[in-house]
Amino acid sequence: MFEQLIKSIQDKVPATEQELQLCKHYFTPKKIRRKQFLLQEGDVCNRMAFVEKGSLYSYSTDAKGNQRVIQFAFEGWWISDLYSFFTKEPSSLNIEALEDSELLLLDHEQHEYLLKNVPQYETYTRMILQNAYVALQRRIEGTIGLTAEEKYSRFLNQYPTCLNRVPQHLIASYLGITPETLSRIRKQMAR
């Protein structure tokens, strides 16, 4: 059950077997079904989730009830509302399973313990957060500076397996375009 997490850590830092075992000890495995919520808007996000198997997405809902997709997470990825996790304020996000999924959960206290007691976990976490910040900057840049066609092309290059696992209307929401625009772009690209 910990294969993806161990691979993720080892890809970033040279952790010893003892450090890996200590990390494993503090994560809690959880299985959730498709369409099941990991977090609902208004609740405090008490856990970060590492995806061992399956996929999830986070989104906010506007006043009209429309979903605004923030993030997708597949095997080997993390998902959480970090703002709520660190501030203990209610979340403005929902996190829902796109597929039956197997997760490894880490609460705030366990996370802090690992940061203080496992230096390689601290380095791993810093690297993950740095990468997340870079991805966020690229996403913002793409949102304000690219055409719909360019956004979709970039999305395809970054997440090629996503097309088979994520409904088109969620991809459109993530890109900030309408499903109709996405359909038009896909038809143009298929020619």
Look at residue 143 in the predicted model and tell me its pLDDT. Answer: 81
Name 58's Cβ contacts closer than 8 Å, sequence gap at least 6: 39, 69, 70, 71, 73, 79, 81, 93, 94, 95, 96
Name 157's Cβ contacts closer than 8 Å, sequence gap at least 6: none
Q: Which helix (H) or strand (E) holds 51?
A: strand 47-53
Q: 43 pLDDT exceeds 90?
A: yes
Q: Per residue in 151-185, pLDDT tens?
A: 999 999 988 888 889 999 999 999 999 999 999 99
Q: Per residue in 74-83, pLDDT tens?
A: 999 999 999 9
